[in-house]
Amino acid sequence: MDRAKDRGCDVFQIFSQSPRSWNSKSLSDDDAHEFVSSFRKSGLALAVDHMPYLPNLASSKDDVHEKSIDALTSELMRCQMLRIPYLVSHLGSHLGAGWDEGFKRIVEAVDTSLSQADNGVILLLENTAGTKNSMGSSLEEIATIIDAFDTLRPGLGICLDTCHLFAAGYELRTPEGLQATLNQFQELIGLERLMLLHINDCRGAMGSHLDRHEHIGLGQIGENGFRLILRHPSLKDLPMVLETPVDSRRNDVANLQAARKLASWPE
């Protein structure tokens, strides 16, 4: 939280536990109270939580799937304790079992966890770049998952990652391409489900299915693409999180400044 404030952020994303472990330290009431109190004093607008990397909601392995449901339920409860309204989750990999099997596993996991937690925290399903066996790389796939639930079911939304979206084959660099992508989102899912953006440039070409994030404006989406994305009427007021690389070329502050400059580019 202090890092986000020091860098001039309005919104920040955290892992509430180690992102690369199944075993999480229990969150004490004192820890939660300290976080909530610090956030209220920080002046920051929004905190978002992200699921750890090991859970796989689409896994065809029963033991992994059961552990993933437990992890998702636990993380939803941790969000409630921390007063964090959004939890972002990858959809996972079907591990070669096929999309239909992965779909059934995801629906079971999401339904079970949201029903068990039932605490008002909104689970945001994140789109993927379309790497081998991954789930949710197309808007049609995400729509199929959303449609498996009551269309009015609370607690379920979407986080769009720009790198993943572009790598999956969606044009974001031209006004016509971006609008066509958003029109498709509206038709299949509904823009009211879109609650968060992960703003990342992409090292790979459009449709490459390469999940490699790049600094804002330095990748294949480029500065012009981000001018369009950051200024689009349907997107510009959404909370946005940067997940750009950590390397010697540009730091977090420089990426934030680049995004803000492109967002305020004159007509």
Check if 213 is active-site.
yes
Q: Which of 50, 65, 105, 193 is catalytic?
A: 50
Nearest Cα neighbor of 87 from 114, 65, 67 is 114
Q: With beta carbons less than 8 A apart as the criterion, state whether 121 and 79 touch.
A: yes
Q: Which of 101, 111, 243, 252 is catalytic?
A: 243
Q: Which of 49, 141, 211, 214 is catalytic?
A: 211
Q: Which of 2, 20, 62, 237 is catalytic?
A: 20
Check if 65 is active-site.
no
Q: Cα separation of 29 and 86, whole Å? A: 20
Q: Where are the alpha helices (DSSP H) in 118-206?
A: 139-147, 162-167, 175-188
Q: Which of 53, 83, 118, 147 is catalytic?
A: 53
Q: Which of 198, 203, 215, 250 is catalytic?
A: 198
Burial group, residue 2, by CB count within 10 angstroms (0-12, 13-18, 19+): exposed
Q: Which of 213, 214, 215, 250 is catalytic?
A: 213
In the three-class reduction of DSSP (H, G, I as helix; E, B as strand; rest coil), residue 214 is classed as strand
Check if 94 is active-site.
no
Q: With beta carbons less than 8 A apart as the criterion, state whether 102 and 136 touch.
A: no
Check if 126 is active-site.
yes
Q: Which of 65, 94, 164, 193 is catalytic?
A: 164
Q: With beta carbons less than 8 A apart as the criterion, state whether 156 and 147 touch.
A: no
Check if 63 is active-site.
no
Check if 161 is active-site.
yes
CA-only gyration radius of the chain, Å: 18
Check if 50 is active-site.
yes
Q: Which of 126, 141, 201, 214 is catalytic?
A: 126
Check if 232 is active-site.
no
Check if 20 is active-site.
yes
Beta bridge partners, 12, equal 47
Residues annotated as part of the active site: 20, 50, 53, 90, 126, 161, 164, 198, 211, 213, 243
